[in-house]
Structures are given as structure tokens and as C-alpha cells.
Structure 1
């Protein structure tokens, strides 16, 4: 990292980047905090980036062997570090007190976000917390990339997206984006969960309607992933749904067994959201106690019942809640990966309900 002098004789310092995970020993001398901290803002791969500049203090400058530069936002896990060693010259002196030193580029930052920066000279007798931090706010996307850049376009997703099945066709209906977005077409990308590439269906919005309906014709039975994108694919995220077509999935349930099918659905899901209400708690905590067959003894195959799920719909629902509760219990007892597993589960309730409507067995869910 090359640096320049700020007035006076033109002196240069070259810093070499090294592994920041290495713990350097405490020094025997006091080194004062750096001065004249400033920042250069730039864009790197359509994201914000920053270079940190500073000057070494003349107090203890001859003992400096390098600098550590930390940058972090409110999330401690996103902390970045650079370990910079003196390469040329090997030792500084007071002649370098006005020399401007620079870090490497800190990239992958979020636009228009506050960050804290701390520059620590080493080896020093003082703890890193002794050196005061500096603060910066990254520039906006429009400033760094220009207001016409597609990356700076606001993110949009429909408030509602409904999928219905009519025969062998899927009808996907969703709210249209405001006209200011200038979307001329939407693309539906869909595939069976076990398939590789997505298939594409182009949909032209009806300018006289608030909603658009796309029809996917003659789709193969199974569980689908459906993504909605705009015609230029400029939305930075896509609206994505996993859709289980129950009439077709019924055949898989008969072949695989209800318990196995339910367990597989829970294992393959990214998130499991249980919508709670007074009725849910009633079914789970009241009806399941009235002499019903224990969950472990229930049939694992489809019966000849006229119910589309091969038995009582409420029974299978109670089984599903019980399986979720068991998975929550196991995740809570596990160390390490258990906390990450718990994050897959969520319980929510309606506006007219309260937290008391969440079944006790689901209390471990966030």
C-alpha cells in the first residue's frame, strides 16, 4: 500500500498486508494514537467501498512495526480487519509524522450505512480499546454509481402472490408494480424442486388492472419453486415460493406414508412458520387429549377414507404440530448447530389473537 506525504519532503511508506488472525505480542513502549484519519469513498463491484487514511503520531513512531485497521458496522459478525506491516522503510522516525498512510480497500460495504473504524499501531503497550475509533457513513448508491444505474433502482415485490391449481394448469396471480418502475413484462421461473434449471414463462401485465395472472400450462405433478422477476431482471432479490400441489402430492403421501412425507417436508423447508390462533391451540391441546391414538401409533399409510389426506385432516394437522414441537426440543438440546436450527422455526398469530394462543409445545420457536 503506497502512501504520499502531506507537505514537506516527499516521503513514501510501503505497507505489506499479512494475516489478520495472527495475534501479535504486546510491546514494551507506548505508541500514541494516529491522527488525521480520513476516508476515500469509491464503488467496487456495484457495492460501496472505502480506503482509510491516517498519519502516525510522532510519540513512539520509531517503535511502530505496522498497523491494524478494523472496520465494522452494527453487526459484529461483519467486522473486517487488515494487518499491515512496514515493508519499506523498516522503521519510521519523526520525519514521517506528516506522511499519509493508507489501508487497502474495504469492499462489500452497504450504501448509505454507518461504520466504525479503528486504526491500531503495533506493537504497543496499550490495549486496542485504548485507541479511539473514527466513524464514517458510506455514500449513497446514486452518488457512487449514478442515479440511472440499475443497482440503485428501488426494490419491489408484490404484496400478495397467489397460486391456484385448475386441472393441470397453475394460475399465478400477483400485484403489479407501480408504473414508475417501467416494467413491460414479468417472467415466472418455475421448476420441480429436484430439477436443475428453471423454466421460463413470460407474462404481459394488463395496464387496466391492478393484478396480473400468469398461467403455467400442463405442468408435471410435484412440488414447485416459483420465482417472479421483472423483464430486465434488475430487482436485487426475487420473490420466491415453494408450492405444494396437494392433490398431486396426495399420491406421494400414499406411496411414502404420511409421517415420512411430513418429516421430509419439514427437513427440506428453509423456514417453518406456524400460524397460531385460538382454534389451533384448541385442536392441539384439547382434542389431542380426548382418547386419540398416540402420535407414534398412528397409521403411516393412506387409508380408504374420503379425506384428501387419507384420514382426518385435523389429525394430520395435530401430528404436524407435534413433529415441529419435537424438532424444536431436539434443536434446543443440541449445542452449536442447535441455535441455527431453531432460527428455521417461527410462530406468528393474527391481529385478533394474542401470544397466549401459541400452543405451549411451540413456545421454543422464536
Structure 2
């Protein structure tokens, strides 16, 4: 059934085409033509975008399928069964899949275009392409179908051409997506016919500039002045279009931290604001940060030295004037004698200088900051397994965990929900076994439904008991051979219990999420979190900033929603059991 569902539509038998130099263009973009033009082989239909309405009309369909604009139908359906044999020809996957962002007037979203090159293997039988876009950590699939007209036959030279999709608009900024480009037709005996690529959309600051983004804006002008025992700090305000009305500041020295809420009066000054710090310790070096009072706002870091200036003195007592004056004269004489024997020393008036105000990338107070690169090459491959018996809320929590780990934990995550084509091609058991062997780590997200006999797991229709049994057998084999067991891990969310971890996984490392995300990161990357006198702080994963990133907020919300859903399910179960008992009593 899956094979019949995912084999994509194409067009009539290819003919021959005589190529001219003008036709051998480097880049080919879609044409505005329909399925009828493709079937007739008319002019201007060389490379057409086929809409879902066209195919639905050709197939006599009235409702949309589960993949939205994707059109997974057997290829001979659109041929009118004129030549079913064409579906068995071999066409290899496209190459050089590339993502290009194009101008988008909407500030909160991105628009991208996919480009690729066809493989020279089987290019004579190539009838078109299908591009599938899927968000990582969310639901929904967007597809575009492109077909060649019936009389077009490509030669090996076309493998150097670049084919492009139409724009995919409305992609949320700072989000992860997977794009898959398939070569058509897909034969009944499947080969490697598609190429996938994972990418991230731009951040708000990358697309619009930080002056137009609440979370990315920060003051770029800070001036510190000391007036007696008071420090005055002046900074530039956010642009009016960001609608930022309040700010905050932290200043720390000698283990003490001062928090200041700042509410500027824009009726007086719309560009800058000055606030004061009092009761500071003289002779101390202060490290401060200032930011807009918005979620996940970027903080501007700076420091200054506080010195005591011109303290007022009380009226002198005349009985002390003479002794003090005599002592001063003696000290002055000694100093004068010393100065005659030493080089001249220039005395400087204490003041706060501009070079004392520095921009810091990170505040390091007995901590070692680890910043992960998005293009980090050594990303361990992690297979995440789970059960769907606990409902869609639990599945959503697992998906949000996978998206968080993919984005912030420098991990290449393998999840069945992101590879439905591979599942359909190989079958759930073969796909699952291959992923276990090829992955560097295997994480089993345990829940009550995982231990239910006969329940379905995440991997297609694979039985939960079978999945746990396979992983348990791998763990037992590794243990008997004296191998390292760190490849296999078990985890539970806050709404699950330790007893939800199957006995087959009793030897593996266990984690409770999201509290143990740092420990999980440590195992994946073999990083020591604590060394003598310091500890490791990992951006977006540490306790203080986990929930500040959009992916962390989504994971936290998904866990909370699942906890509420499970409480409601348990209440329904208890109510039904009580209803059954009352019924038996009445009987």
C-alpha cells in the first residue's frame, strides 16, 4: 500500500529532442503551464509546475490527501494506462541539492528556493521531479511537482544543468526544515531515487537587522560617568517600531548583584536614557549587563571601576590642628628627601576613563563557556525511539525534543517522522535495524505506552515489544562481548516514571528530561561538565537559559501539554472503572 501511495505521478512516453545551444541553459526555472499542456507536448511546456487541482481533476478526486499538496499516486494513473512499463525504468536521485533564500517582505518569515542537478544515470527516462518540504519539530508537508512534456528526452549533458523549484514562502524564522528532491518516475522496484537536506531558516537579525527584532536588539551605545558616589549610565533606546517600553540592568562585584528596573520616559527623550547606581563599594570593579525587558533578549555586557571621589570632611577641632600639622610637616620632609633620590613620578587624578568600559562576549565567573557551531562537522548520529500508545501529545513532545537536540545539541537526529519515504521504501523492521547499526547513539524515550504489549512504536507499525526486544538484544550482546554500553540510553519526561523503563534497558544510562539535558549532552559528546575549580556552561542547554530559546520553549510547552493530557486520560480510566464497579454492584 505504501509503495502504491508514494509512487509519484509523471507523464507520457518520452520522445526525442534535438538540442540547440540556446536551449542548453545553465539554470532552468519552472514554467506556468498545466497537465494538459504536458500531455499534449506543446511548446512552452518543457518544465511545468503541476498543481494539485490539475492532478485531482485528472484522477477524479474531490478531497485532498493526507500530504496536502503532495501527490503520491502510481505513475501509470496519469498516463491513462497507455504505457505502464515506463514505471519500471530506473532513475537515480538528484545531486547538489542547494537552498537559496530570496527576498520576502514579511519580517517574521522566510522564503526559499530549492535547486539541484539531475543524475546522469537513467536521465533518458527522467520525467520530472517532486520537492517535499517538512518542518522538523512540527507537522505539515508542502510539495511541488514538476514534469517534462511528453516529447522531451534529456541527454547526459543535462546533468550539468541546475533545476529550480518555485519559492516556498511563509517559513518561520529560526526554524529547522528537511527538504527532499525526488526523481520521477519512481519504479516499482525502488532504488535510491531521492536526496534530502536539512537546513535552518535565517534568524530575525540575519534577515531584518537587529534594529528590527525585539529578541536580537541590544543597546550599542553605553556611557558611564561617576559623579561623587553616584554612577550615571546612559544608553540608547530601542527604535519606536519595536515597542520596547522597559529595560533592566544587572551589576555584580565581590559576589553581590544589583538589579535595576528601567522605565524610560520617552516624552522627555526618545533616543537615550540615563539611570543612576548608588551604594556601590569603592575600589571595586563592576561587571554589568543591560537589555530590553523582553523574552530571550540579547544582553549588552560592559564593566567599570568605581572610585571614591572628594569625600566631604567635618570641621577640624583646633586642639588637633597643631599635632596634625606637625605630623604632616614631618611626613612631607621625608617624602621630599625620597623624591630627590628617585625619578620624577607623575601623579594622576583618579577618574573613569573610556578604556575601562569594555564589551565582553561572555561573563566568565568560574565557568567555561562552550559555544556550539551550527556547521560543526563532528555531529554524532542519534536514533530516537518511542511509542505512540500515549497519544499525539507524547508524540509531539518527542518531536520537539528531536528538534531541540538537532538545533542546540550539535546532534544529527534520526526520527521516523522525518523519514517517511525511507520507511515506506525499506519497511519498518529493515529501516529500524539499519538505523540501529548506523547510529552512534540510540535513545529510547520511555513511557507507560512503551511497555504495553502489542502497542505500536514510532517506527511505522513496528510493535513496541519487538522494538524494545531488538534494542535489549543489542545491549545484551554488547555486555557479553565486553563492549561499551554508552551507545544505548533511556530517557523519560517529567510525566513518566522510572518504572516505565523496560527491564531490557536496565543496563543503559538513564535520564530525566529536560532536567538532565546537560548530562545527555555530556554523553553524546564525551565532554566533562565539571573540572576542579570550574564548570561547563553550554549555551541554550544550561538550566538558566534552556527555556529562553524558541526550541526550548516549544519542548517545555509540549511536555506540559502531555502531562495535562495524561492526567485527563487517567481520570477517564478511573471514572470508567468506577462506573463498571457500580454496574456490577447493581447487577
- Shorter-chain TM range is 0.3 to 0.5
Normalising by structure 1, what TM-score? 0.40
Pick the structure with more strand per residue: 1
Normalising by structure 2, what TM-score? 0.26
Larger Rg, first or second structure (1 or 2):
2
Tell which has more relative contact order, 1 or 2 (C-alpha 8 A, sep 6+): 1
Pick the structure with more helix per residue: 2
